[in-house]
Amino acid sequence: MKTKHDRRDFLKTSAMIAGATAITTAPLGVFASNDDTIKIALVGCGGRGTGAAVQALSTNQNVKIVALADAFQNRLDDCYNILANKFKDKVDIPEANRFVGFDAYKKAIPLADVVLLVTPPGFRPIHFAEAVKHNKHVFLEKPVAVDAPGIRQVLETAKEAKQKKLNVVVGLQRRYQNNYRQTIQQIQDGAIGKIHSGQVYWNSGGVWVNPRKEGETEMEYQMRNWYYFNWLCGDHIVEQHVHQLDVANWVLGGHPVAVQGTGSRAWRTGKDYGEIYDNHAVEFTYANGEVIYSQCRHFEGTSNRVDETFQGTGGKVYLSASNTGILWDTNGKEIFRHQGKGDPNPYQTEHDELFEAISKGEYKFEDAEYGAISTFTGIIGRMATYSGQVLKWDEALASNISLMPEKYSWDALPKILPDSNGLYPVAQPGKTTVI
């Protein structure tokens, strides 16, 4: 049976491994004091970041949040007030540990044992690299990047995290949801034979808009409307639909090798919607010839659908986030149904399992690699719809086209800028270059 001291020994061992492999002097260690408290830093204090912090503080472990970081003061203040009111005994964040600005993450990360990285996705690769450099266990929200260079950086950092035995959980919470775990285990055990095709959907009415305010710089405007700019979001095929694409990769045990599709701006066409498309329809072909059809859209007033179906040589399966998992044989007879009543919230489960492993001194989670592969499945889908070309996985992943700005400051200019009418340039299939 492991004792309280196992966690401290585990974290010290991670630091020693880092010291053995680092080129420069290694950080002093990943735990900030000699007590048994697991210390948390939150990087990204918006709605999802605040939610992730609530889930981390709701685990059964001895945890305390000690640092906050965000680009915006108001978001940090709102987050602090929510956490301090809800978890008085688990919030120990003096003013000096509340950091604001583009470099705030560099100040918050060294203060903790575990880092929650929940900013807009474009920042994820550099934040992840910083956390692993300092030997921190990580909760990495999805998606983990927005372009091929970012994915390559995450994959390299994932290798480093593995060498250092740092737990990394990615917020693809279906991997932590009972109906997905149990139903996909049935598939992997051969219940419906070999999977040859499938359909995955995220069709909804879209998300929020923050109107432009007088005096905002272009950088601030795009940061506050991050969902509509690819350097921050990756388009909704990456930011939202990554969940279904991850399920497809999980079921098939790999990633697509060739991708083609179409998309456009049919509904959300005004200047408030930045540069992203509002619909994508993509065909993903896998190594053994399996084909997954993918559809995602942001149309108001139309039918919504968020789920996954797959067909095998011995039957078919239906999955959804509403705790559904059903298998049928080729005659339509139901052969398995997940009984989902009372299942735990998977958003909470991913934190429960991460912090339990850390408290026991266990190295269990290496999610960053599949998180990066599933994220790139969304990215190559976007690249295919934007370009109108059939893309090969390896060629697309080798692309050196970076969407990120040259520097991060409030007076810096992103690469995508509005015209005199306030409209942003939009990808044109047949003309847009993606590789």
Domain check: are 29 and 91 in the same one? Answer: yes
Q: What span, in angstroms and rounded, lies between the C-alpha atoms of 252 and 365?
A: 20
Name the residue range of residue 24's domain.
5-174+349-366
Domain check: are 167 and 227 in the same one? Answer: no
Q: Is residue 193 part of a domain?
A: yes
Q: Is residue 417 part of a domain?
A: no
pLDDT of 225 above 80? yes
Q: Is residue 428 part of a domain?
A: no
Domain check: are 339 and 357 in the same one? Answer: no
User: Residue 10 has what pLDDT?
Assistant: 52
User: Residue 30 has what pLDDT?
Assistant: 42
Instruction: List, for residues 63-91, the tens digit of each pLDDT value.
Output: 999 999 999 999 999 999 999 999 999 99
User: Residue 186 has what pLDDT?
Assistant: 98
Give the DSSP per-residue string, 331-357: TS-EEEE---TTPPPHHHHHHHHHHHH
pLDDT of 23 above 60? no
pLDDT of 275 above 50? yes
pTM of the model as a whole: 0.93
Domain check: are 279 and 292 in the same one? Answer: yes
Q: How many CB atoms neighbour CB 395 within 10 A?
A: 11
* 251-260 mean pLDDT: 98
Domain check: are 184 and 259 in the same one? Answer: yes
CATH number at residue 25: 3.40.50.720
Q: Number of structural domains, the chain?
A: 2
Cα-flanking dihedrals φ and ψ of residue 372, to 5°? -70, -40
Instruction: List, for residues 357-373, the tens digit of each pLDDT value.
Output: 999 999 999 999 999 99
Instruction: List, for residues 93-121, the tens digit of each pLDDT value.
Output: 999 999 999 999 999 999 999 999 999 99
Instruction: List, for residues 108-158, the tens digit of each pLDDT value.
Output: 999 999 999 999 999 999 999 999 999 999 999 999 999 999 999 999 999
What are the CA-CA distances from residue 328 to residues 214, 292, 323, 325, 335 (Å)? 57, 19, 17, 10, 5
